[in-house]
């Protein structure tokens, strides 16, 4: 088993995660690959201080982007992995349960016909009050990458970034994450860095399992609780959804997408006009999401008309063909 995560100026949260990892029962032979993605906050020194306490392998990737960082590690190590071995993917802001990796490994052993494993993601809230977020509580999954479920088969799309695992043979076949999605140090990136890949794996026939007892807590920062942060995240999520949906959707798909976006914007503005004091955060969230959906759709349409450097023949967009595991 290997674990991959990247960090960009996340020293304050990364130190908490590494401390929590000291309490995790790490299966023998596990390597923790951590990518410093161009940090300027002392992250390299922090990682170095844990080398004698955790099985860390430290990488440095100055080209920013979470997916680029993960691909950087996969390019370096995937060929050396056993086909059925687990590649665990997570973030630098989680607090794992002590049995986290053991539970993922147990699920992989119990379900050899599954290629993707999704774990439970709960919130680790800051001390500040969150009652002002009640109008968008239904969207907490989107806002804070939270997911829960019962043990059993699920779609690959229910495997989310802070807590997921994929069998190595998927990456050995050349499949990679699309670096145009996900965090890259900017505010306007399209969300959905793992979802984009999971949608491809679903389409290719890969099967997933929800490992309920493999649990981590996602550290929610006070800065993520403000109204502006919520609205920006709604826009980024809609942006990613619009971009992904428009792929190969053609003109009819574009019309449907834009009509849905227009309907969302108009509905939010009408509710705001008729009841300006009723759940303004929810109205702003829904309008921002719809505007992001339109932007993502139109951006993909423009891309489809241009010659791109990230063509369908690239290893990162290669069809995620399911190959049999040979032990």
What is the overall mean pLDDT for the chain? 91
> What value does the mean pLDDT take over residues 56-63?
95
The one-character DSSP state at 26 is P
Q: Confidence class of residue 300 from pLDDT cuts 50, 70 and 90? A: confident
Of 101, 139, 324, 102, whose CA–CA distance to 231 is shortest? 139
d(CA 105, CA 268): 45
The domain locations on the chain are 2-225, 227-304
Tokens of 167: 């069998």
d(CA 182, CA 17): 21
Stretch among 155-159, 188-192, 282-286, 314-318 having the lowest mean pLDDT: 314-318
Express each pLDDT in 109-131 by its tens digit. 999 999 999 999 999 999 888 99
Q: How many CA atoms lie within 13 A of 36 on its CB side?
A: 17
Express each pLDDT in 194-245 by its tens digit. 999 999 999 999 999 999 999 999 999 999 999 999 999 999 999 999 999 8
Query: For residue 11, how many other CB atoms are within 10 A of its CB?
Result: 17
d(CA 288, CA 88): 32
Q: Which residue has the higher pLDDT, 95 or 300?
A: 95
What pLDDT sits at residue 322? Answer: 45
Rg, the chain, Cα only: 20
* Residue count (the chain): 327
Is residue 51 pLDDT above 90, yes or no? yes
CATH 3.90.550.10 given to domain 2-225: yes
> What value does the mean pLDDT take over residues 18-40?
96
Is residue 326 pLDDT above 80, yes or no? no
d(CA 241, CA 36): 28
The one-character DSSP state at 189 is P
Q: What is the pTM of this model?
A: 0.88
């Amino acid at each position: 088993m290997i674990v991959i995560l990247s960090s960009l100026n996340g020293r304050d949260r990364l130190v908490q995660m590494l401390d929590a990892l000291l309490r995790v029962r790490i299966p023998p032979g596990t390597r923790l690959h951590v990518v410093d993605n161009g940090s300027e906050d002392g992250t390299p020194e922090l990682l170095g201080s844990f080398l004698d306490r955790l099985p860390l392998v430290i990488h440095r990737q100055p080209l920013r982007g979470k997916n680029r960082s993960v691909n950087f590690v996969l390019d370096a190590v995937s060929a050396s992995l056993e086909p059925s071995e687990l590649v665990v993917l997570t973030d630098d802001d989680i607090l794992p349960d002590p049995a986290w990796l053991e539970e993922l490994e147990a699920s992989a052993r119990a379900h050899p016909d599954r290629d993707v494993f999704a774990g439970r993601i709960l919130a680790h809230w800051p001390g500040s009050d969150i009652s002002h977020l009640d109008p968008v509580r239904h969207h907490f999954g989107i806002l804070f990458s939270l997911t829960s479920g019962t043990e059993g088969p699920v779609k690959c799309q229910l495997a989310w970034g802070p807590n997921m695992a994929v069998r190595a043979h998927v990456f050995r076949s050349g499949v990679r994450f699309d670096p145009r999605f996900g965090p890259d140090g900017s505010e306007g990136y399209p969300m959905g860095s793992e979802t984009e890949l999971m949608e491809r794996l679903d389409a290719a026939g890969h099967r997933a399992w929800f490992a309920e007892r493999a649990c981590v807590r996602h550290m929610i920062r006070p800065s993520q609780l403000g109204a502006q942060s919520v609205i920006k995240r709604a826009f980024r999520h809609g942006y990613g959804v619009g971009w992904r949906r428009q792929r190969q959707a053609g003109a009819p798909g574009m019309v449907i997408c834009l009509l849905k976006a227009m309907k969302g914007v108009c509905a939010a503005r009408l509710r705001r006009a008729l009841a300006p004091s009723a759940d303004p955060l929810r109205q702003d969230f829904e309008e921002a999401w719809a505007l992001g959906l339109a932007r993502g759709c139109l951006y993909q349409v423009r891309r489809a008309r241009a010659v791109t450097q990230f063509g369908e023949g690239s290893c990162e967009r290669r069809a995620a063909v399911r190959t049999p595991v040979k032990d």
